């Protein structure tokens, strides 16, 4: 499956991102602010998906992943980036397969409701009852959210460990719990609170002591990264 935005696929964006982040170095503070900006824009992107078909979502995650990549280099922990990337890929599938389809069907239901013919359309089997549509969305979303949050939880826990910031552990817990109970609406609220804690944690990240006087990240080879595209 390939997610398409105009003539550009999701895979193209990921490959371009990998090429870009490997070609230049980055100061720790710049990496941290990319991470923060990506987190904030990512939350906004979830709400604007209906209007920009995921443009904000894709851009924010590219920025966020760039920040994660370089933070992982600074902390010499490849697992942070690897798990974040896996989480993003699962989220990408979820947003464009489940969420986009739900928005399309829900827009049709709202249109029928405005015309006052929704009940007739549902009775004739020409439209789905809004409650059933919403329940179906929650059920289909659940496995994607659980898998995505599993990888994000691992990334945040590791980042909290190497960065010495406990807020990331709290964020990991809340996002994980929220994903498991996302079949009820309160789960999404808990996930959102988890992202707030990840933002708090991001502001508390400090440059590793060993490199405090060096404003260049360690060479990619020393960080243990080897990205091969075949």
Task: List alpha helices for 94-166, DSSP H.
Answer: 100-114, 118-123, 130-163
Nearest of 141, 60, 51 to residue 95 by alpha carbon: 141
Q: Helices 130-163 and 186-203 sit at what angle, rounded to 10 degrees?
A: 20
Q: Of the spans 38-52, 56-70, 205-219, which averages the highest pLDDT?
A: 56-70
The tens digit of pLDDT for each residue in 47-74 reads: 777 677 778 888 888 999 999 999 999 9
CB 40 within 8 A of CB 88: no
pLDDT value for 229: 35
Spatial separation of the C-alpha atoms in residues 148 and 199, rounded to whole Å: 18
The tens digit of pLDDT for each residue in 89-139 reads: 998 888 877 777 777 776 666 666 666 655 665 555 555 666 677 777 788
Mean of all residue pLDDT scores within the chain: 78
Q: How many residues does the chain have?
A: 230
Give 34 or 209, the one with higher predicted confidence: 34
What are the tokens at 180?
A: 């498991």
Spatial separation of the C-alpha atoms in residues 96 and 53, rounded to whole Å: 9
**What single-letter DSSP state applies at residue 24?**
S
Instruction: Kindly state the average pLDDT of the residues 137-151.
Output: 90
Give 130 or 206, the one with higher predicted confidence: 206
3-class secondary structure, 54: coil
């Amino acid at each position: 499956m390939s997610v398409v935005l105009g003539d550009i696929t999701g895979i193209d964006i990921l490959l371009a991102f990998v090429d870009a982040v490997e070609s230049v170095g980055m100061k720790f503070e710049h990496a941290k602010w990319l991470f923060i900006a990506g987190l904030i824009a990512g939350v906004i992107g979830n709400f604007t998906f209906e209007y920009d078909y995921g443009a904000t979502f894709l851009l924010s995650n590219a920025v966020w992943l760039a920040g994660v990549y370089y933070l992982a280099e600074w902390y010499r922990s490849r697992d942070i980036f690897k798990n974040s990337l896996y989480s993003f890929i699962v989220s990408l599938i979820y947003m464009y397969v489940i969420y986009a389809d739900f928005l399309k069907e829900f827009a049709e239901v709202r249109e029928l409701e405005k015309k006052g013919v929704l009940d007739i359309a549902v009775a004739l089997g020409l439209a789905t009852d809004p409650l059933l549509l919403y329940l179906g969305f929650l059920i289909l979303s659940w496995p994607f959210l659980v898998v995505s949050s599993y990888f994000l939880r691992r990334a945040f826990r590791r980042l909290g460990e190497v960065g010495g910031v406990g807020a990331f552990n709290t964020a990991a817990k809340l996002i994980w719990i929220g994903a498991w109970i996302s079949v009820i609406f309160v789960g999404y609220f808990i996930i959102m609170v988890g992202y707030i804690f990840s933002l708090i944690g991001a502001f508390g990240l400090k440059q590793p002591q060993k490199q405090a006087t060096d404003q260049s990240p360690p060479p990619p080879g020393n960080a243990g990264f080897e990205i091969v595209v075949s």
